[in-house]
């Protein structure tokens, strides 16, 4: 859908926060300032749009945030925006304030809301993928993913120190509601013995077999990385108990990394990616694009229809699965 001239853009962050969101806000605001477009920062995601909670941002409003985790605009998962009444209220605010377009920084839930809003009220929406899970189709990297990988590897390295000292087997649960990207990459990066991801159900027998083998091969301590959304049928504590019962030679501990994975200063990669995505989002709106998501594919900025970004599945790299198997030899 081609839009008319864009004079005012509103930017918001929605869903789970991710490192790099602030850098993306900064980029949208500065790209607007560069192109003489008014920019509005909406607080608390779609809920803030419904409640009219926003401020006019100029280039100086986003000083000193490129290096900060979290989101200056705050984030929320708005239940009200899921209803037509809620979206109608948001549209009234958009109309009253002469907002011509929206840039939504978030994950698939946030894009679904944006897509429906554009369909119902004709307000152009562009998405910037921000989630540590990297589970969005149409981009090789979402904002925050690279930072989260580095955070997790750093922590598992520390867990390894204590695992070695006590000759223990650690189950480390990492985030990833439906996707194993964090688990697979950090598992390889931190030298895990096994990696359990939702995309591949290795089964309990194979897990026991593999741990038995590694003990026989002379490994005294081990790390198993488990994605939060793993489908093996037991949560990480039940899994640990099951292994300890069946392999009494192992002394098992569990570490659930949790929300610390979403915090911290963004990596250089995420800062650069966010800066590129913000510029691309604003300039695409100026060119009349809408209902698309900005992404990075083969190093280039791309646009993918929101409908595809939401429905398509980001695929697990099967080469990585093979590499991880070879590395546990
Ligand atoms: O989607 C990002 C994510 O961090 C998932 O990995 C995790 O399952 C979920 O958000 C946690 O959500 P909340 O912060 O609402 O508990």
Q: Check if 228 has its Cβ closer than 6 Å to any atom of ligand 1.
A: yes
Q: Where in the chain is the domain with CATH 3.40.50.460?
A: 146-262
Beta bridge partners of 301: 296
pLDDT at 202: 83
Catalytic residues: 133
pTM: 0.95
Q: What local confidence, expressed as pLDDT, does residue 133 receive?
A: 95
Instruction: State the span(s) of the chain assigned CATH 3.40.50.450.
Output: 8-144+266-311
- In angstroms, the CA 105 to CA 317 distance is 25
Q: Specify the pLDDT at position 2.
A: 46
Tens-digit pLDDT profile for residues 259-296: 999 999 999 999 999 999 999 999 999 999 999 999 99
| Spatial separation of the C-alpha atoms in residues 8 and 10, rounded to whole Å | 7
Tens of pLDDT, residue by residue over 52-103, are 999 999 999 999 999 999 999 999 889 999 999 999 999 999 999 999 999 9
Give the position, in ligand 1's atom list, of the atom nearest the Cα of 261.
4
Shortest-distance Cα residue to atom 10 of ligand 1: 16
Span from the CA of 76 to the centroid of ligand 1 (angstroms): 12
Q: How confident is the model at residue 4 (pLDDT cuts 50, 70, 90)?
A: low
pLDDT in tens, 99-139: 999 999 999 999 999 999 999 999 999 999 999 999 999 99
* Alpha-carbon distances of 192 from 135, 143, 307, 320, 327, rounded to whole Å: 22, 25, 36, 13, 9
pLDDT for position 48: 97
Residue 3 has a pLDDT of 47
Q: How far is the CA of 203 from the centre of ligand 1 (A)?
A: 25
**pLDDT for position 41:** 98
- Asked whether the CA dihedral 270, 26, 278, 99 is positive or negative, the reply is positive
What mean pLDDT is predicted for residues 183-207? Answer: 94
pLDDT tens for 228-249 read 988 888 899 999 999 999 999 9
The answer to whether the CB of 19 is under 6 A from ligand 1 is no
Nearest CA to ligand 1 atom 14: 16
Half-sphere exposure of residue 253, counting CA atoms within 13 Å on the CB side? 14
- Of 175, 230, 258, the one to substitute when testing ligand 1's pocket (max ligand atoms within 8 A of C-beta) is 175
Tell me what pLDDT residue 225 has: 97
In the reported structure, the alpha carbon of residue 176 is separated from the centroid of ligand 1 by a whole-number distance in angstroms of 7
175 C-beta closer than 6 A to ligand 1: yes
What separation in Å is there between the alpha carbon of 295 and the centre of ligand 1?
Answer: 21
CA distance from start to end of the chain:
53
Distance of CA 207 from the midpoint of ligand 1 (Å): 26
Distance CA 327, CA 9 (A): 49
**CATH number of the domain located at residue range(s) 146-262 in this protein:** 3.40.50.460
The pLDDT confidence band at residue 177, using thresholds 50, 70 and 90, is confident
Average pLDDT over residues 183-197: 97
State percent of the chain over pLDDT 70.
99
The answer to whether domain 8-144+266-311 has CATH 3.40.50.450 is yes
Q: Whose CA is nearest to atom 15 of ligand 1?
A: 16
Cα(23)–Cα(274) distance, integer angstroms: 6
């Amino acid at each position: 859908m081609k839009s008319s001239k864009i004079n005012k853009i509103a930017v918001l962050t929605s869903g789970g926060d991710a490192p790099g969101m602030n850098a993306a806000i900064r980029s949208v605001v500065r790209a607007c300032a560069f192109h003489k477009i008014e920019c509005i920062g909406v607080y608390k995601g779609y809920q803030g749009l419904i409640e009219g909670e926003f401020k006019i941002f100029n280039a100086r409003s986003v000083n000193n945030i490129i290096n900060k985790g979290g989101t200056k605009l705050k984030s929320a998962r708005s239940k009200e925006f899921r209803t037509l009444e809620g979206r109608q209220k948001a549209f009234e605010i958009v109309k009253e304030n002469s907002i011509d377009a929206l840039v939504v920084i978030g994950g698939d839930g946030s894009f679904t809301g944006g897509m429906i809003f554009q369909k119902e009220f004709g307000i152009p929406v562009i998405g910037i993928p921000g989630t540590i899970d990297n589970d969005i189709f149409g981009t090789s990297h979402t904002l925050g993913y690279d930072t989260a990988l580095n955070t997790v590897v750093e922590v598992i390295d520390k867990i390894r120190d204590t695992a070695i000292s006590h000759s223990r087997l650690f189950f480390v649960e990492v985030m990833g509601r439906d996707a194993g990207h964090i688990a697979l990459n950090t598992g390889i990066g931190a030298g895990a013995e096994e990696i359990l991801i939702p995309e591949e159900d290795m089964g309990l027998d194979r897990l026991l077999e593999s741990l038995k083998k590694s003990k026989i091969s002379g490994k005294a301590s081990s790390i198993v990385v488990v994605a939060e959304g793993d489908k093996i049928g037991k949560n990480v504590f039940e899994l640990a108990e099951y292994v300890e019962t069946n392999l009494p030679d192992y002394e098992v501990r569990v570490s659930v990394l949790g929300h610390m994975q979403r915090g911290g200063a963004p990596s250089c990669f995420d800062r650069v990616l966010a800066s590129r995505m913000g510029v691309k989002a604003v300039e695409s709106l100026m060119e009349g694009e809408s209902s698309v998501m900005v992404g990075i594919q083969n190093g280039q900025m791309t646009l993918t229809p929101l409908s595809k970004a939401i429905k398509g599945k980001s695929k697990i790299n099967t080469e990585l699965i093979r590499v991880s198997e070879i590395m546990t030899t």
